[in-house]
Amino acid sequence: MIGAIAGDVIGSVFEHFAIKSTQFPLFSGFSRFTDDTVLTVAIADSILKKIDYATSLKTFGLKYPNAGYGASFFRWIHSTDSRPYNSWGNGSAMRVSPVGFAFNSIEDVLNEAKKSAEVTHNHPEGIKGAQATALAAFLARSGKSKAAIKQEISERFAYNLDRTLDEIRPYYGFDISCQGSVPEAIIAFLEGKNFEDTIRKGIALGGDSDTISCIAGGIAQAYYQGVPQEIVSDVRTRLPEEFLLIIDEFSTKYG
């Protein structure tokens, strides 16, 4: 899941300052982790400790309250009512990458992605976005080709992955919906030449940069079987020790 976290940290600078070019420094003094990282770590910790997803998301959300959550999620973590709020936002997809690494069949990945999403994002599009992201990561780590991943995701979820980034970029803006960002993130992965290029291409769409590159980064890590060490090293310097311990434990257990 370090690939997803790297995408978040690198994309954080451009979340509200859109860029339409791949030519930018990967890191700056303003690069930081956001809610994407916090909740990805929460899902990983839930899997490791067999804690229910809602409890883990609330625990980490309350511990890191200034990470940039959406208004509905922020209210949810502070409420005694843990019922979902029918969200179709891309928050369900940005946090789901650990599921794609931890489970070992399509059925299990889809079931767990649904469980991780529906504690908050019980809208069909919210569930669909999480399932598509987790399944793409699972297929990628299973050695499937990009063509096979594209076909499976397109057919199963009816996402239009035939568009190119060059076609999307001129008209693309900030979109927090699953249906308006998950397909674009997957296309960034499909067109990326390597991990770094995937991240750059996702950010260069000019949308919800940290989340698009977080989604694409988790899939790219699975496909390229890792993240360049220089990127990992820089990302790790920006994370709390608690996150590093969970990341390392998860990586050791699930590879």
Residue 140 domain-assigned (yes or no): yes
| Residue 209, pLDDT score | 94
Q: What is the pLDDT of residues 216-242, one digit of tens each?
A: 999 999 999 999 999 999 999 999 999
Q: How many Cβ atoms are within 10 Å of 248's Cβ, its own excluded?
A: 12
Burial class (CB in 10 A: 0-12, 13-18, 19+), 166: exposed
Residue 240 domain-assigned (yes or no): yes
Q: What is the pLDDT of residues 9-49, one digit of tens each?
A: 999 999 889 899 999 999 999 999 999 999 999 999 999 99
Instruction: Give 243's Cβ-side CA count (13 Å radius).
Output: 22
Instruction: Give, in order, the Cα–Cα distances in Å from 77 to each of 50, 55, 59, 60, 197.
Output: 20, 9, 8, 9, 35
Measuring CA to CA, which residue among 5, 29, 10, 22 is closest to residue 205? 22
Its domain, for residue 26, covers 2-250
Please name the residue that has the structure tokens 């599921």: 99
Are residues 107 and 124 in contact, defined by beta-carbon separation less than 8 angstroms?
no
Measuring CA to CA, which residue among 115, 94, 112 is closest to residue 103? 112
How far apart CA 74 and CA 64 sit, in angstroms, is 11
Are residues 127 and 148 in contact, defined by beta-carbon separation less than 8 angstroms?
no
Residue 185 domain-assigned (yes or no): yes
Number of domains forming the structure of the chain: 1
CATH number at residue 44: 1.10.4080.10
How far apart CA 161 and CA 164 sit, in angstroms, is 8
Please name the residue that has the structure tokens 């988790």: 218
How far apart CA 246 and CA 79 sit, in angstroms, is 26
Q: Give me the percent of the chain exceeding a pLDDT of 70.
A: 100
Residue 207 domain-assigned (yes or no): yes
Residue 168 domain-assigned (yes or no): yes
Residue 65 domain-assigned (yes or no): yes
Q: Kindly report the pTM of this predicted structure.
A: 0.97
Instruction: Give, in order, the Cα–Cα distances in Å from 175 to each of 10, 79, 246.
Output: 18, 26, 30
Residue 255 domain-assigned (yes or no): no
The residue ranges of the chain whose pLDDT is under 50 are none
Residue 221 domain-assigned (yes or no): yes
